[in-house]
Amino acid sequence: MSLAVVFMTIFTLYGCVEEEANHIAEVDADLRPFFERFSEEAQLRGRAINVMDSNIIATLTTSLPLNIIGQCQRNSALPNEVKISKATFLSYSYIEKEYLIFHELGHCILRRSHIDDKDLSGNCKSIMESGLGTCRRIYANGNRTNYLDELFSQ
Nearer to Zn ion, 7 or 139 (CB): 7
Q: Min. distance of Cβ 71 from Zn ion in angstroms?
A: 8
Nearer to Zn ion, 11 or 43 (CB): 11
b/e map 31-46, b = 16+ CB within 10 Å: beebbeebbebbeeee
Q: Min. distance of Cβ 112 from Zn ion in angstroms?
A: 9
Compute CA distances 34 → 19, 27, 59, 119, whole Å.
24, 10, 13, 27
Nearer to Zn ion, 7 or 147 (CB): 7
Q: Min. distance of Cβ 9 from Zn ion in angstroms?
A: 5
Binding site residues, Zn ion, CB under 5 A:
7, 9
Say if CB 27 and CB 88 are below 8 A apart: no
Q: Min. distance of Cβ 114 from Zn ion in angstroms?
A: 6
Nearer to Zn ion, 4 or 48 (CB): 4
Distance CA 152, CA 148 (A): 6
